[in-house]
């Protein structure tokens, strides 16, 4: 240890403080820096788009990409023809419809389109597709099985998930609700969860009839797509129910089209009204959003979250852990710190649901455990997300660490959920291509499948508490 007399520095506290904590470089403050300026202008179709136009949510919606032809018109010669062909085939095979906002299009690095974390989430390319895991199903979370009314899932004791509609401002390739969200595709015919006042009325009647329900997640689809009067109608109906104490409007909008918060005052006022009514009634009304990568947060997101802060609206984030998107310590830490800095509380990071057609995006439970170790301690505890696995089959969200069994060779983890479905066990399966050779070999042999599952269940039952 260096003392001040040895180093010849003047006596005083400053020297001691410096010895304990060396000064930080710019690198350590990187989470504060976000994309500034007219970043969209490098996209050929947006070269002449001014800030006012780019901030218009109607312009964003009108110019969203939903067909390969429109992609070509937007990007022109930024990517080679081979890429367009790959995308066209990707569109044909995808279980989800495609819709990408200009806001997102402008954030993709088209010179490295295959590796780009935002491209990977929204634009399917056939050449990177991997076969689905043999244990994967279309409604992997069993949301329809736990639904007393179509579009209302009552799984947990005191909270329920209400899906008032089935459209979103963008469609994520990896959507858990590909069973219902968006128009039918070549691959999937969707369960119908359209805007329908009668279906809503049934959901409200059910919610009112269950005194244990205190907490409603209004998701979808995406609350961004609800008209202001619909936001108010749903929000006020629920917030006035004596049993209801907490409401969350779930929208990926803030992440993929923050423009709306700035250019659709009627929508924002409708949300604000519900929040304020809630405050009067001592009930919490918040927004839950969905940023997955730190680059998704631009100056426009900052303006939007500032506006929500000014109105006293709490925003929390639920991210999905995805391979090649946010599965490194560096990217996940940056995401968590950037969100926290701009008043978006990182709430959850989910291991990827077992969704069709996105095996390239899934990663392992062990990756989630590793990342959590590095993220925890890097910032405020209340801005540190819980890493969860939404247990396939309807077990609900479980802390990834709480498995009764986890075998990194077979990739099988087993969870129990004593407060949700006592006595049952739930399994999650790591993607096969990330397993060690021994595990891949066992999955290559169908005769081994049930054996692996049985081994996992036997071990889990021996360990399980509850």
Ligand X SMILES: *Cc1c(COP(=O)(O)O)cnc(C)c1O
Contacts with ligand X by CB under 6 A lie at 153, 155-156, 159-161, 217, 397
Between residues 160 and 254, which has the closer beta carbon with respect to ligand X?
160
Torsion of CA 335, 339, 342, 343, to 10 degrees: -170
Does the N-terminal peptide bond of residue 221 adopt cis geometry, omega within 30 degrees of 0?
A: yes
Between residues 153 and 251, which has the closer beta carbon with respect to ligand X?
153
Instruction: Provide the minimum distance between the beta carbon of 325 and ligand SF4 in the complex, in angstroms, as a whole number.
Output: 13
Instruction: Provide the minimum distance between the beta carbon of 427 and ligand X in the complex, in angstroms, as a whole number.
Output: 18
**What CA–CA distances, in Å, run from 152 to 58, 85, 89?**
30, 39, 35
Between residues 14 and 145, which has the closer beta carbon with respect to ligand X?
145
Tokens found for residue 179? 């069973």
Question: Binding partner of residue 295 among ligand SF4, ligand X, none, CB under 5 to 8 Å per kind?
Answer: none
222 sits near ligand SF4 (criterion: CB under 6 A) = yes
Determine the residue with CB nearest ligand X: 161
Between residues 156 and 200, which has the closer beta carbon with respect to ligand X?
156
Helix, strand, coil fractions of the chain, as percent rounded to 5: 45, 15, 45
Question: Binding partner of residue 99 among ligand X, ligand SF4, none, CB under 5 to 8 Å per kind?
Answer: none
Instruction: Provide the minimum distance between the beta carbon of 153 and ligand X in the complex, in angstroms, as a whole number.
Output: 4
Question: Binding partner of residue 171 among ligand X, ligand SF4, none, CB under 5 to 8 Å per kind?
Answer: ligand SF4
d(CA 374, CA 329): 7
Which of 57, 154, 252, 337: binder of ligand SF4 (CB under 6 A)?
252
d(CA 61, CA 293): 22
Between residues 138 and 217, which has the closer beta carbon with respect to ligand X?
217
Between residues 274 and 358, which has the closer beta carbon with respect to ligand SF4?
358
Instruction: Provide the minimum distance between the beta carbon of 156 and ligand X in the complex, in angstroms, as a whole number.
Output: 5
Instruction: Provide the minimum distance between the beta carbon of 293 and ligand X in the complex, in angstroms, as a whole number.
Output: 21
168 sits near ligand SF4 (criterion: CB under 6 A) = yes
d(CA 414, CA 394): 13
Nearest to 159 by CA among 217, 211, 204, 234: 217
159 sits near ligand SF4 (criterion: CB under 6 A) = no
Question: Binding partner of residue 442 among ligand SF4, ligand X, none, CB under 5 to 8 Å per kind?
Answer: none
356 sits near ligand SF4 (criterion: CB under 6 A) = no
Q: Nearest 5°: phi and psi at 161?
A: -110, 120
3-state secondary structure of 412: strand
Instruction: Provide the minimum distance between the beta carbon of 181 and ligand X in the complex, in angstroms, as a whole number.
Output: 14
Question: Binding partner of residue 456 among ligand X, ligand SF4, none, CB under 5 to 8 Å per kind?
Answer: none
Question: Binding partner of residue 177 among ligand SF4, ligand X, none, CB under 5 to 8 Å per kind?
Answer: ligand SF4
* Planar angle of CA 81, 85, 91, nearest 5 degrees: 140
Nearest to 263 by CA among 229, 303, 233: 303
Between residues 291 and 415, which has the closer beta carbon with respect to ligand SF4?
291
Interacting residues of 385 by C-beta distance below 8 A, sequence separation 6+: 317, 319, 336, 346, 347, 348, 349, 375
Note whether 249 and 290 are within 8 A (CB). Answer: no
Instruction: Provide the minimum distance between the beta carbon of 415 and ligand X in the complex, in angstroms, as a whole number.
Output: 14
Note whether 154 and 146 are within 8 A (CB). Answer: yes
Tokens found for residue 276? 């304020």
Nearest to 236 by CA among 218, 219, 250: 218
Using a 10 angstrom Cβ sphere, with 0-12 exposed, 13-18 middle and 19 or more buried, the burial of residue 210 is: middle
Instruction: Provide the minimum distance between the beta carbon of 357 and ligand SF4 in the complex, in angstroms, as a whole number.
Output: 13
In eight-state DSSP terms, residue 13 is H
> Taking CB under 6 A as the criterion, which residues in 259-298 touch ligand SF4?
none
Residues touching ligand SF4, count (CB under 6 A): 10
Which of 54, 171, 200, 348: binder of ligand SF4 (CB under 6 A)?
171
Between residues 157 and 279, which has the closer beta carbon with respect to ligand X?
157
d(CA 404, CA 413): 8
User: Using CB under 6 A as the criterion, which residues of the chain lie in contact with ligand SF4 when the complex forms?
Assistant: 168, 171-172, 175, 177, 181, 220-222, 252
């Amino acid at each position: 240890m260096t003392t001040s007399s040895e180093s010849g520095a003047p006596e005083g506290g400053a020297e001691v403080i410096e010895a304990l904590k060396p000064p930080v470089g710019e690198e350590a403050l990187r989470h504060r820096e976000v994309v500034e300026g007219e970043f969209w202008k490098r996209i050929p179709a947006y070269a002449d788009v001014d800030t006012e136009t780019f901030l218009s949510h109607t312009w964003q919606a009108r110019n969203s990409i939903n067909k390969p032809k429109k992609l070509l018109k937007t990007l022109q010669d930024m990517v080679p023809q081979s890429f367009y062909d790959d995308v066209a085939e990707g569109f044909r095979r995808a279980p989800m419809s495609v819709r990408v906002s200009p806001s997102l299009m402008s954030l993709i690095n088209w010179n490295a389109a295959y590796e780009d974390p935002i491209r990977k989430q929204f634009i399917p390319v056939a050449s990177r597709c991997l076969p689905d895991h043999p244990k994967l199903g279309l409604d992997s979370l069993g949301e329809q099985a736990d639904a007393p009314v179509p579009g209302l899932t009552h799984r947990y004791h005191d909270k329920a998930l209400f899906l008032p509609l089935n459209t979103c401002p963008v469609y994520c390739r990896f959507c858990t609700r590909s069973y219902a969200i968006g128009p039918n595709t070549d691959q999937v015919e969707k369960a119908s969860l359209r805007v329908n006042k009668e279906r809503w009325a049934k959901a409200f009647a059910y919610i009112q009839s269950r005194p244990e329900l205190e907490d409603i997640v209004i998701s979808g689809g995406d609350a961004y797509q609800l008209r202001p009067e619909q936001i108010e109608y749903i929000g006020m109906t629920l917030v006035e129910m004596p049993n209801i104490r907490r409401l969350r409007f779930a929208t990926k909008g803030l992440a993929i089209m923050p423009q709306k918060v700035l250019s659709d005052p009627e929508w924002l006022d409708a949300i604000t009204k519900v929040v304020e009514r809630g405050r009067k009634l001592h009930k919490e009304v918040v927004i839950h959003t969905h940023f997955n990568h730190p680059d998704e947060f631009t100056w426009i997101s900052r303006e939007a979250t500032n506006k929500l802060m000014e109105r006293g609206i709490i925003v929390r984030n639920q991210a999905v852990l995805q391979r090649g998107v946010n599965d490194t310590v560096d990217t996940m830490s940056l995401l968590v710190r950037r969100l926290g800095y701009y008043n978006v509380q990182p709430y959850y990071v989910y291991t990827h649901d077992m969704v069709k057609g996105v095996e390239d995006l899934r990663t392992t439970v062990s990756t989630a455990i590793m990342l959590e170790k590095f993220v925890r301690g890097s910032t405020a505890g209340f801005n540190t997300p819980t890493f969860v696995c939404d247990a396939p089959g309807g077990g609900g969200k479980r802390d990834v660490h709480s498995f009764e069994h986890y075998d990194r060779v077979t990739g099988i983890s087993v969870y129990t959920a004593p407060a949700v479905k006592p006595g049952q066990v739930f399994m999650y399966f790591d993607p096969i291509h990330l397993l060690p050779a021994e595990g891949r070999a066992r999955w290559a042999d169908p005769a081994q499948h049930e054996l692996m599952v049985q081994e996992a269940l036997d071990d889990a039952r021996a360990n399980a508490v509850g």
